[in-house]
Amino acid sequence: MQGKSVQAHLVGKVAEILEAVSSAEWVGEAAGRLSVVAARARAAVVVPAVKAAVALCLAMSVILVVEKLSMAAVSMLVKILKRKPEKVYEWRPISEDVEMGGSLAYPMVLVQIPMYNEKEVYHLSIGAACALEWPSDRLIVQVLDDSTDPAIQDLVQIECQRWLAKGVNIYYKTRDSRKGYKAGALKEGMDQDYVKKCDYVAIFDADHQPPTDFLVRTVPFLVRNPKIALVQARWKFVNVNDCIMTRIQEMSLNYHFKVEQESGSSLVAFFGFNGTAGIWRIQALMDAEGWKERTTVEDMDLAVRATLKGWKFVYVGDLKVKSELPSTYTAYRYQQHRWACGPANLCRKMAFDIIKAKNVPVWKKFYLIYNFFFARRLVSYNVTFLFYCVVIPTSCFFPEVEIPRWGVIYVPTIITLLNSFTTPRSIHLILIWVFFENVMSLHRFIAVYVGLFEAGRVNEWVVTEKLGDTLNAQPVVDGRKRFHKFWKRFHFLELGIGVFLLLCASYDLTCRSTQYFVYIYPLSLSFFIMGVGYVGRIMPEA
């Protein structure tokens, strides 16, 4: 019996071994089949998809570079031919008329200052507005305070009373709710009885400080040219040297003002209103149905509706209004989300209105839809992130995919040089600008589709944090809170993209010979640096 037991045990062991061998063979066979399926899927689906993405990005790159070259050409011609607005349009200074009773020759001007919990800067804009060179009986200053902090409301009201005691016609207005945000405040401000006697309205955000001659230089355009609705001034940044991030913002915004706004004003008498540092003809504002609360770019919305009514805009590039740049990364991200999401959402809402608009030339409709919205607000944000942060790095894993040299090198070089020429003093920062803009393109890309599909954050309005006089103070970090603040500064989306780019660059270095790793490694590092919050000014409360 014992011999039979041993024999049965041996038979069982042999059966187990044979089963294990057959199982291993099955696993190996399954793995081989999966490998074949994966190879076929790669050849039939993945590689064609990557090639299609490359072709799409190359097409968008051509659209973008042509748009930028054309704008730069117009802007350069304006400078070469010295076509200043004062030469293009009738402009003569306004002077007192004895027969009309002195100051009656000057039109009534309303100055609106919308603000929201602007503790650090409220006094700057109010003081600058009250110091404008204009007859005191022909100027009304209106402070629209949506602050939710009673202490800040008291400070703003005291400042208004101080200027009122000096003889300035200044009105303080607050609301029970922030309905419509800035657009809602401006709209309600225009409904006041004392506004009805005004001809023009100048708008300055709480951190903007107009020069004393702002009205003297802008109002004559409106008085002498009845078809002009808006005169826009340029921004001058008071904190541009605060950190590398503000220097980089200066490069991007200088391009916006010197090229985009200049070319639009000179070519088609249209550009997007910047929401501040501009003065409107109230008749044109009302003709365009006033302020609307449907997007977070109420300024651009008003500008598009006004131009569809036949009104013209003028950009005065040598008139500069002091303003503040976001100096913390969080504030900058919120601002850029609004600036990318809003135009995309407005395009969705107004595309058919532009097409159906009467009394608007076809060429101007084309300019609005293709140049203003499609090329600059949709293609630009898509190609920057998709091509340079996704498609090019992903192509490292696919030897079958080839990207032409002009798409990888020449086009981005042209775009980079065009931006650098507008800020010569910062040309040594151009590479930092490239990588910083690529990281920010991630958020702009997301924001565009939030706007197009009206997703969750489409109407999010976070007021850009201003630091005002605190910019001159060195932040003191409490050591007990340092660890907590360090974790609060983490941005995991940037860190995730950084890991992906690191893998792409390493694979390209070890397994490929495209040399893309020379670009992808520093791009990956940029995502890591910004992902851990080591960019911009780090405030104790940030």
| The token pair that represents 178 in the structure block | 């922030």
Average pLDDT over residues 389-398: 96
97 annotated active-site: no
User: Could you count the other beta carbons within 10 Å of the beta carbon of residue 149?
Assistant: 11
User: Could you count the other beta carbons within 10 Å of the beta carbon of residue 204?
Assistant: 29
Neighbour-count burial of 22, counting CB atoms closer than 10 A to its CB (0-12 exposed, 13-18 middle, 19+ buried): exposed
Task: Tell whether the model's pLDDT for residue 5 goes beyond 80.
Answer: no
Average pLDDT over residues 344-372: 95
Predicted pLDDT of residue 479: 42
First to last CA, the chain: 83
Q: In the structure, what pLDDT confidence band is assigned to residue 15 with cuts at 50, 70 and 90?
A: low
Average pLDDT over residues 409-431: 93
149 annotated active-site: no
The pTM of the whole model exceeds 0.85: yes
State what percent of residues in the chain have pLDDT above 70.
89
Catalytic hit among 145, 146, 207, 242: 146
Instruction: Note the pLDDT tens digit of each residue in 17-61.
Output: 556 555 556 666 777 778 887 778 888 899 999 999 999 999 999
Contacts of residue 440, Cβ cutoff 8 Å, sequence gap at least 6: 332, 333, 336
Catalytic hit among 242, 299, 301, 508: 299
CATH number of 103-338: 3.90.550.10
How many CA atoms lie less than 13 Å away from 8 in the CB half-sphere? 5
Instruction: Note the pLDDT tens digit of each residue in 126-137.
Output: 999 999 999 999
3-state secondary structure of 473: coil
